[in-house]
Amino acid sequence: MQLPKTFHFGEHHLTASIAIGIAKGSVKGIISADYIKKIEVSNLRVQNIVAKGDTVYGINTGFGPLCNTKISKEDTKILQSNILQSHSVGVGKPISEELAKLMLILKIHALAKGYSGIAIATINRMLWHLEHDAIPVVPSQGSVGASGDLAPLSHLFLPLIGLGKVNYKGETIITDQLFKKTGLQSLELGPKEGLALINGTQFIAAHGILVLQKLQYCLRHADIIGAMMLEGLQGSMKPFHEELHTLRPFKGNQHVAGRIRTLLQGSEILEDHIDCERVQDPYSLRCMPQVHGASRNTWLHLKELLEVELNSVTDNPVIINDELTISGGNFHGQPLAMALDYAALAASELGSISDRRIYLALEGNSPGVPKLLMGDTGINSGYMILQYTTAALASENKSLCFPASADSIPTSLGQEDHVSMGSISGRKALQIIENVEKILAIELLTAAQAFEFRKPLKSGVVLDEIHKFIRTKVPFADSDRVFANDIEKGIETIQKGEIIALVEQTMAAKNLQWNAPYLEEFETY
């Protein structure tokens, strides 16, 4: 999908791919004159509330259980600075700069819609941080995903008032050092600004963006590597026939079956055993459309919900117009928390079925493929122990699949009596996906080894090119070696998306088209 060169915060429709493009610097994020005016009008409405003395939560009251405590006009600015400090209670390792940058992008977009009462000067400072790559340090733990991601967002915006730390020009420095290097000065936050900054689901949503991106990579790899394993073990093509999947027309199932049909097009290996007596393959081969497809359907569900969230106003209270300010619950993380838990399960299942295919390849039950994928075993253990690693990773993923959103611990003296734990959902989902990348890397190595035993027969042109590419990274194994080195190369190949790029290049060069429906839905985000 072609990304725009310029994106208008608050005004244009944000997608995960555009957010990633802004984070990488390939898309320029700006605010149009019309939306600057909307932001200023909303800020003026807050100033009028303070001037009139109307009691409005978060503008001239305390927060959470202190919502009934009235704050004087003189103290409303102090209140906003205090809330950033008091809520900066995050612990644990910092999140990646990429995630922190995505949080910043998502927050700018939400505030620029003009319903939060924030000053344009505050948003401009946030834009400065984004444009100059001065990215705040944000601890990974501390959010329960209730009044939004309070702790992470507080750390994200401490630098606005001269506190906290930032990653700047390759080093982590305190904000005071940043100010000395750049000539910036601390901002004085106006009424409601502190609350507008820290209320919202941007920590959860930023994790959702990376889950969407990384899980899609895993889904694409799983189809490609699964097709290679099918060839290596001389599996049947019949379970992938289009006619079969029109009888149970789940989008994901149909799409996966079509992708595998395309990858196997023109295969001599398939032709060689088309009349064999084997009745059916084990499920890990035969049911790839159903299992990979179910995970794709889950990915699509996350994509749809995340896109709604990326274009929503999730702070509190929301300034609707001159007469109406609503203290509601748009900050609650439940919509994404449940979807991220679902995505975590979808990722885990990809790893689980991949581990089963690896085990299947080691059994030696496929004609021509030796036990443990090596001819001279006994003195050599072959690929036996690689499956130990995938078993460990698959089991670890199962333990991580308990849904964080199924839990709730009341906070804020009972005012926040139901919380989403969505931040944990997002962190766990990414952890599971990282494990799946490792499992798929090991399947790639074993599939390539099994594939070798089919020579001199050729597969489809795409899979043959992939096999040649893998052999430039990892040689055929006819005796034991330190397989950890091979695995590292496989993981690097998966994480860089080199196989996906090679598939697209080969198909373009050979004028091949995907015989798979729903390309737009599943291949873009």
Q: What is the pLDDT of residues 307-336, one digit of tens each?
A: 999 999 999 999 999 999 999 999 999 999
Share of the chain above pLDDT 70, in %: 97
Return the HEC string of 107-129: HHHHHCCCCCCCCHHHHHHHHHH
Mean pLDDT within 177-191: 96
With beta carbons less than 8 A apart as the criterion, state whether 29 and 9 touch.
yes
DSSP result, 130-181: HHTT-EEP-EEE---SBSBSHHHHHHHHGGGGT-SEEEETTEEEEHHHHHHH
| pLDDT of 273 strictly over 80 | no
Q: What is the pLDDT of residue 66?
A: 66
With beta carbons less than 8 A apart as the criterion, state whether 199 and 115 touch.
no
- Point out the residues that are catalytic: 57
Break the chain into its structural domains and give their ranges: 6-199, 208-408+416-523
Give 174's strand partners.
165
Rounded distance between C-alpha atoms, residue 340 and residue 349, angstroms: 14
Q: Write out the two tokens for 417.
A: 């009596």
Does the domain at residues 208-408+416-523 carry the CATH identifier 1.20.200.10?
yes
Query: Helices marked H in 312-385 — which ranges?
Result: 334-362
Q: What confidence tier does 412 reach under pLDDT thresholds 50, 70, 90?
A: confident
Mean pLDDT within 421-428: 98
Q: Write out the two tokens for 169.
A: 């020009």
Please state which of the ranges 46-60, 115-129, 402-416 shows the lowest mean pLDDT.
46-60
Q: What confidence tier does 277 reach under pLDDT thresholds 50, 70, 90?
A: low
Instruction: Report the predicted TM-score, pTM, of the whole model to 2 decimal places.
Output: 0.96
Indicate the average pLDDT of the chain: 95
Q: What is the pLDDT of residue 70?
A: 76
pLDDT in tens, 450-488: 999 999 999 999 999 999 999 999 999 999 999 999 999
| pLDDT of 416 strictly over 70 | yes
Share of the chain above pLDDT 90, in %: 89
Candidate CATH numbers 1.10.275.10, 1.10.540.10, 2.60.120.1440, 1.10.472.50; the one for domain 6-199: 1.10.275.10
Mean pLDDT within 426-438: 98
pLDDT in tens, 7-65: 999 999 999 999 999 999 999 999 999 999 999 999 999 999 888 887 777 777 766 66
**DSSP-based three-state secondary structure for 28:** strand
Give 180's strand partners.
none
Q: How far apart are the first and last CA of the chain?
A: 9
Rounded distance between C-alpha atoms, residue 75 and residue 60, angstroms: 8
